[in-house]
Structure 1
Amino acid sequence: MATFGHGRHACPAQRFSLSAIVRTVRRLVDAYELEARFTTVRPHADQIGGVARAAEPCPVAYRRR
């Protein structure tokens, strides 16, 4: 991921950060039932960098399992 830099200037905590993100997302997905409230997603026209953004909100309904 470009967010963490690369080469000699790479973030030393990149592996820890990514594992924390994965663990958090996994716990949320396990704890909640998610339902998309949108049908299509269009990328933002002025996309810059490696992180994709939607042009419009993508609402999601959730409830505890």
Structure 2
Amino acid sequence: MSAADINNSAEKATGKVKEGLGKATDNEELEAEGQSDQVKASAKQAGENVKDAAQKAGESIKDAFGKN
């Protein structure tokens, strides 16, 4: 797990906490902020996944042509 993965997971967890607190205290703004944090973290993680997949594909192509 990379540092970016850890940061995204932490941001998502923070968002869940904010959302839960917002629901518990009937604070719609805090609840929405928590949901927003979770969406942002998920989007960042998706970008990291695409980047990792592209890097692995590039490495596979290099290996296929014998260029390390």
TM-score by length of 2: 0.38
Greater helix share, 1 or 2?
A: 2
TM-score by length of 1: 0.40
Greater strand share, 1 or 2?
A: 1
Specify the structure having the higher radius of gyration (Cα).
2
